[in-house]
Structure 1
């Protein structure tokens, strides 16, 4: 068994930050957090700063504790929002990322920085599955800024000898995520049933595809990578299931798990910045001994149970 780590998590009160903190604490790791919102479970944190990454006193937060890893989840989390406000999306990610890397170089040189990037950096790849060597060609401000953060940290790693790991996360989902496709479908379907309607309308054509990964599998993969012996320099991992699923397939499967009888109609309008098809090659992740526990049906069953409980 690997020794417990001391981990700093930014964006700690978001959807993925909340799940990661719970699972890290349960695994015996010591965790510190930063977020504008207070944590849901304050008792699991060794220290928490309810402020922005730009203004937090990192030395005071860590109280001379040596950290092993920084999980950097802070920043924008919406392609649509980045299209509406590109500079706002830029400002939420890049300055804080540079500040973190500079802090590690100066005060915590033993720590490794884990950037939670996105498959959005790949844009619309010509060849599937997508490997970590697939060319970077983002098509949204969100993807551009994630790619810029990756480049920034790659240069920091080269010049300042800061250890960097980049997680390119595909379509993560799970209970408590109150946005994006799966949330949208669950709310529309439950409302339609309540109102006696038999049809819901979704964006796109339904033929678009994604690589969905259940949130617990994402967190297990992250903790697996953190626990291994990290090399110097930069390493990159795709975090995904390795299974391509069409939007229509996902929506139909979710409706089945919700136990409602509604038909799906697509409006044919693909939102700006959305790619057509994604499927990840996760060979590198599997080489560490990681295998996803949740297939799509099992994961959507968990989401459906939660969605019905809060509706």
Structure 2
């Protein structure tokens, strides 16, 4: 059986990746936390290591030597735009230093595993035109987006100079069960606390939402791809307004749409509109399987179960 290392395995995408790929790969998980906090506890289907990746290239090198991974999914790092604005150095540490230490840990290896670096649509900032293509100029609006772009450049350098096999995937607006932050979690918490859904902005801002189950299928397709492209958009190529999403959410809660309102305030680092060009991902065989309304319904059921 092939071997896969998942960094940040306790995170939202890391946990889903572990559950998706464990039938095909022998999984080793790395994370800052002392223990794995997946759906099954204790979990004997994975070897788990507590590791501070931003400081421990020697420890990671020892782990990789023992595992000899065929694939590394680098899911570790911060995914909080607002927090990156408040504390950019912490975001730099979590998003860039951890990646650099991982690449250094592999430098002496003869075997070059396939590596997927989880980047972000945040590298684009406010696109000049939609849909935004992988070849468009990066213009990040937040330290988070900047550090993700720096990570992509680091990966390109190691591919070119050291013969690594890294693909950076620019994930757009990910959502799904288990996500305890960002827009969908925020909406649920506001509804629980106030009976209303009051959000930042005007509601006309748009995003390209993709369910985590579709992200997993996209990663699977990318791992089997042998083409030259090093950066790939991961999205559905669909522009959905925040107002439309919030009204769907209210419906799934069984609440009237008039509980949804917007305060007009703009949060630093937030872009106005996103829609991805996913021509390359489609060329690999990607097709969306989770409709937004179904994904939100499942999320509402999951969130209610957490009460």
Counterparts of 1:63 and 1:45, CA distance in 2? 20
SS of the equivalent of 2:117 reads: strand
Contact 1:166-1:234 within 8 A present in 2 as well:
no
TM-score, normalised by the number of residues in structure 1 = 0.91
Whether 1:43 and 2:43 are equivalent positions in the alignment is yes
Alignment of 1:252 with 2:247, yes or no, is: yes
Distance 2:136 2:61 in 1: 38
Instruction: Name whichever of 88-97 and 74-83 sits farther off.
Output: 88-97
Q: Does 1:307 align with 2:279?
A: no
Unaligned segments of structure 2, at least 5 residues? none
> Deviation of residue 245 (structure 1)?
0.4
Count of aligned residue pairs for this structure pair: 300
* Residue 141 of structure 2, aligned match among 139, 142, 148: 139
The verdict on how the C-alpha distance between 1:208 and 1:67 changes in structure 2, with shifts beyond 3 A counting, is same
Partner of 1:196: none
Cα distance, 1:51 vs. partner?
2.2
Scaled by the length of structure 2, what TM-score is found?
0.92
Does the 8 Å contact 1:32/1:62 carry over to 2?
no
Shift of 1:113: 1.8
CA contact (8 A) 1:22 1:44 kept: no
Q: Within 5 Å, give how 1:155-304 maps onto structure 2.
A: 155-193=157-195, 199-226=196-223, 228-231=224-227, 235-261=230-256, 263-304=259-300
Shift of 1:62: 4.0
Aligned-pair Cα RMSD in Å: 1.7
C-alpha distance in 1 between matches for 2:244 and 2:110? 46
**Where does residue 153 of structure 1 map in the other structure?**
155
State the shift of 1:281 in Å: 1.1
| Deviation of the 1:45 alpha carbon | 4.3
Q: CA contact under 8 A between 1:66 and 1:108: conserved in structure 2?
A: no
Q: Is the 8 A contact 1:109 1:162 kept in 2?
A: no
